[in-house]
């Protein structure tokens, strides 16, 4: 018996319509060999929600291979997911529970409903019932009390608002013929477009730590892909240049290949980012951009390969965007090409200093800084260091906190300069060149300068000098540096004996005669009076000897002697006037390099960094959204 349509035109809505179209499905089928097609058609799948551990295989088998078992399972599990979602959503309306709490049923409900409505296994009665449940979800998503940050009741994080807006686009797009669909869709679409404008700094750095920024980014891309397929203007915002900058931020700050992560690159463990976390988003972006910008897509394909072709956006969180359809965006068929990324400033997010990429011997430093500081610890101004491809100076672990007082768990001074997690380090200067990079940041009475002396050879002298200047209001304090390995005292500081084939010498230049105390995972120095702590961080192979470092100009400069030659580095807040033999220098930061009888000079000139947005206190953590600011960190 024929069942009447739920509303006029409902029976003509195209499916699949979210992440792929019928044409995309046909192209995917054409790329499969007969053996692959046969394998997918024979696959067996469970038909209950908790057992659907591989929704991507389930959807691919149903849509591409016409697997009858998969088609039937999709219909049954889609109803289960919709029911779970409908049961969970009132908690948001009535109690303000974040939409992320039911991201798995939301993702499965949308994707599997799209696949079910496209298949042959669903009956007319089931179709009408499913459309009714989709309308019910849409109605709740637009309830006046459903997750509106402007009310002040949504006291959590920006990524949860992304979930709410993403759900609004997704479920409206499932029923485009419904009389209210366009209004429902536009509400979410406009919200997400504004997020992109507000939550990415001018260079691509994002509003939250890497893990939660990827939670946001994954849902942006999924929603804009839906919008593109729905015929929204400007390709549904999918090719917004700011999104391109943001994924390159993720790529540039990714770690070198890590032995602890199956020798793949990973997300850096900054703030509330999990250990050993990788993402498939580089591969997804490669597939989406391959026709629009093949060179960029090839760089994304390279990073996807470097992260082991991971098949999920991240770990230990449910990512509802594209759930069930990621198999369609896993291999773009492009020849991977390494990017040419280098040292970069992200004015409201941090600074990445890099000597090279596409090498297994990269030396990089990341400095956490800027007002984009949601889902971090009280860690603004802290650093991580990788030397010659090995992690040497480590960050705190989201899953295994090093200290309840997060100031005491990071490579930076303690209070009073860092008394409050609301205060962040603002980047004021940044300069880069092939042989010397420089950055200066300020957080209340503490200023951190970092110089990076580089060699074109990844195995050559690539090392950092860190100068922390503390004013009278910032002392007494404890200065800390966290190191990953065995820490051995030396006459000038300590040597980190790394767990792999790289060590790092930590050499104190000032105060003269500084003797840090050694702990199991860090060193610390008591700073009693105003002044500067200057230290050389020199990564080297275990087979190499340590450099000879000689303080000059009362520690405002230093001579670093290595087998390649001699570097004279100048680093101070005030200009240094120096002349000795063939070396003369006037300035606050720079390098005079004397290698193989030749002298090269780099002097840092004006290099002010403009704030990412005008107005406000640059040292006050600020989330650019309509909701309340994130609660203060539990530091005392």
In the prediction, which pLDDT does 636 show? 43
Q: Which residue has the tokens 């939250």?
A: 208
- Between β-strands 493-497 and 502-510, what pairing exists: parallel, antiparallel or unpaired? antiparallel
Residue 579 CA to residue 187 CA, distance in Å, equals 65
- Whether residue 346 contacts residue 304, with contact meaning beta carbons closer than 8 Å, is answered with no
Give the architecture-level CATH label for domain 10-329.
Alpha/alpha barrel (1.50)
Instruction: Report domain extents, the chain.
Output: 10-329, 344-557
Q: How far is CA 43 from CA 54, 59, 60, 114, 445, in A?
A: 12, 11, 11, 20, 63
Q: Which residue has the tokens 């107005």?
A: 615
Q: How far is CA 618 from CA 93, 204, 343, 442, 614, in A?
A: 35, 18, 22, 10, 9
Residue 357 DSSP code? S
In the prediction, which pLDDT does 157 show? 84
Confidence of residue 508 (pLDDT cuts 50, 70, 90): very high
In the prediction, which pLDDT does 155 show? 61
Long-range contacts, stretch 403-410, CB < 8 angstroms, 24+ apart: 404/634, 405/635, 405/636, 406/377, 406/378, 406/379, 406/633, 406/635, 407/378, 407/635, 408/478, 408/480, 409/377, 409/379, 409/482, 410/377, 410/378, 410/379, 410/382, 410/480, 410/482
pLDDT per residue over 393-405, tens digit each?
999 888 888 988 8
- Whether residue 458 contacts residue 539, with contact meaning beta carbons closer than 8 Å, is answered with no
Confidence of residue 524 (pLDDT cuts 50, 70, 90): very high
- Which secondary structure element, helix H or strand E, spans residue 248, and what is its range? helix 241-253
Q: Return the structure tokens found at 425.
A: 């380090």
In the prediction, which pLDDT does 3 show? 53
**Mean pLDDT (whole number) for 427-451:** 98
- Whether residue 633 contacts residue 406, with contact meaning beta carbons closer than 8 Å, is answered with yes
Residue 576 CA to residue 572 CA, distance in Å, equals 7
- Whether residue 498 contacts residue 390, with contact meaning beta carbons closer than 8 Å, is answered with yes
pLDDT per residue over 235-282, tens digit each?
999 999 999 999 999 999 999 999 999 999 999 999 999 999 999 999
Residue 469 CA to residue 563 CA, distance in Å, equals 31
In the prediction, which pLDDT does 631 show? 60
pLDDT per residue over 359-406, tens digit each?
999 999 999 999 999 999 999 999 999 999 999 999 988 888 898 888
- Whether residue 504 contacts residue 498, with contact meaning beta carbons closer than 8 Å, is answered with yes
pLDDT per residue over 124-180, tens digit each?
999 999 999 999 999 999 999 999 887 766 667 899 999 999 999 999 999 999 999
Q: Output the CATH code of domain 344-557.
A: 2.70.98.70
**Mean pLDDT (whole number) for 430-455:** 98
Q: Return the structure tokens found at 448.
A: 């951190």
| 1 has pLDDT over 50 | no
- Between β-strands 548-552 and 531-541, what pairing exists: parallel, antiparallel or unpaired? unpaired
Rounded to 5, what percent of the chain is helix, strand, coil?
35, 25, 45
pLDDT per residue over 180-190, tens digit each?
999 999 999 99
Portion of the chain with pLDDT greater than 70, in percent: 97
- Whether residue 446 contacts residue 586, with contact meaning beta carbons closer than 8 Å, is answered with no
Residue 213 CA to residue 366 CA, distance in Å, equals 17
Question: Strand, helix or coil at 286?
Answer: helix
**Mean pLDDT (whole number) for 86-100:** 95
In the prediction, which pLDDT does 632 show? 64
Residue 365 CA to residue 588 CA, distance in Å, equals 21
pLDDT per residue over 34-75, tens digit each?
999 999 999 998 888 776 678 999 999 999 999 999 999 999
Q: Which residue has the tokens 């403009």?
A: 610
Q: What is the phi/psi pair of residue 4, to 5°?
A: -65, 150
pLDDT per residue over 2-27, tens digit each?
455 689 999 999 999 999 999 999 99
| 467 has pLDDT over 60 | yes
Long-range contacts, stretch 178-183, CB < 8 angstroms, 24+ apart: 178/7, 178/10, 178/135, 178/138, 179/7, 180/138, 181/138
> Directed axis angle between helix 210-229 and helix 281-289, to 10°?
30
Closest CA to 159 of 79, 103, 107, 201: 103
């Amino acid at each position: 018996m024929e069942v009447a349509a739920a509303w006029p035109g409902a029976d003509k809505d195209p499916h699949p319509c979210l992440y792929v179209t019928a044409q995309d499905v046909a192209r995917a089928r054409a790329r499969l060999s007969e053996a692959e097609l046969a394998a997918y058609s024979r696959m067996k799948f469970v038909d209950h929600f908790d057992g659907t551990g591989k929704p991507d295989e389930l959807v691919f088998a149903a849509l591409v291979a016409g697997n009858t078992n998969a088609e039937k399972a999709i219909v049954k599990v889609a109803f289960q997911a919709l029911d779970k979602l409908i049961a969970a959503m009132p908690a948001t309306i009535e109690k303000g529970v974040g939409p992320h709490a039911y991201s798995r049923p939301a993702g499965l409900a949308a994707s599997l409903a799209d696949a079910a409505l496209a298949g042959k296994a669903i009956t007319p009665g089931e179709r009408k019932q499913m459309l009714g449940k989709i309308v019910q979800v849409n109605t709740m998503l637009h309830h006046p009390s459903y997750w509106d940050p402007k009310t002040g009741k949504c006291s959590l994080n920006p990524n949860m608002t992304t979930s709410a807006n993403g759900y609004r686009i997704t479920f409206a797009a499932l029923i485009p013929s419904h009389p209210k669909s366009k209004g429902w869709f536009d509400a979410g679409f406009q919200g997400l477009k504004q997020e992109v404008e507000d939550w990415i700094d001018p260079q691509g750095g994002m509003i939250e730590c890497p893990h939660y920024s990827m939670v946001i980014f994954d849902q942006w891309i999924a929603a804009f892909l839906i919008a593109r397929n729905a015929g929204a203007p400007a390709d549904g915002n999918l090719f917004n240049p700011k999104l391109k900058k943001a994924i390159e931020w993720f790529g540039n700050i990714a770690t070198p290949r890590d032995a602890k992560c199956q020798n793949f690159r990973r997300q850096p463990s900054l703030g509330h980012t999990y250990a050993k976390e990788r993402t498939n988003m580089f591969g997804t972006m490669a597939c989406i951009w391959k026709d629009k910008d093949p060179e960029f897509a090839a760089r994304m394909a390279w990073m996807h390969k470097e992260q082991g072709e991971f098949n999920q956006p991240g770990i230990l969180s449910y990512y509802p965007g594209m759930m069930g359809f990621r198999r369609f965006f896993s291999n773009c068929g492009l020849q991977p090409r390494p990017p040419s990324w280098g040292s970069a400033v992200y004015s409201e997010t941090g600074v990445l200093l890099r000597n090279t990429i596409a090498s297994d011997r990269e030396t990089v430093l990341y400095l956490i800084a800027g007002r984009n500081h949601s889902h971090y610890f009280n860690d603004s101004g802290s650093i991580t260091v990788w030397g010659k491809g090995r992690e040497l100076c480590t960050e705190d672990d989201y899953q295994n906190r090093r200290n309840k007082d997060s100031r005491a768990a990071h490579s930076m001074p303690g209070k009073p300069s860092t008394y409050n997690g609301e205060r962040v380090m603002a980047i004021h200067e940044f300069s880069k060149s092939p042989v010397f990079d420089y950055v200066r940041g300020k957080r209340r009475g503490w200023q951190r300068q970092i110089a990076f002396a580089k060699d074109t050879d990844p195995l050559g002298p690539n090392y950092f000098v860190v100068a922390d200047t503390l004013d009278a209001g910032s002392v007494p304090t404890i200065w800390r540096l966290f190191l990953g390995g065995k820490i051995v005292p030396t006459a000038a500081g300590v040597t980190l004996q790394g767990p792999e084939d790289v060590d790092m010498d930590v050499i104190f230049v000032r105060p003269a005669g500084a003797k840090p105390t050694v702990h199991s995972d860090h060193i610390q120095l008591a700073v009693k009076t105003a002044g500067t702590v200057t230290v050389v961080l020199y990564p080297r192979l275990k087979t190499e000897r340590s450099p000879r470092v000689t303080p000059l100009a009362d520690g405002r400069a230093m001579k670093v002697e290595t087998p390649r030659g001699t570097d004279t580095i100048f680093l101070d807040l005030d200009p240094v006037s120096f002349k000795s033999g063939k070396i003369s220098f006037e300035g606050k930061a720079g390098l005079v390099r004397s290698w193989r009888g030749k002298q090269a000079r780099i002097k840092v000139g004006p290099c002010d960094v403009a704030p990412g947005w005008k107005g406000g206190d640059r040292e006050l953590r600020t989330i650019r959204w309509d909701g309340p600011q994130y609660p203060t960190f539990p530091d005392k």
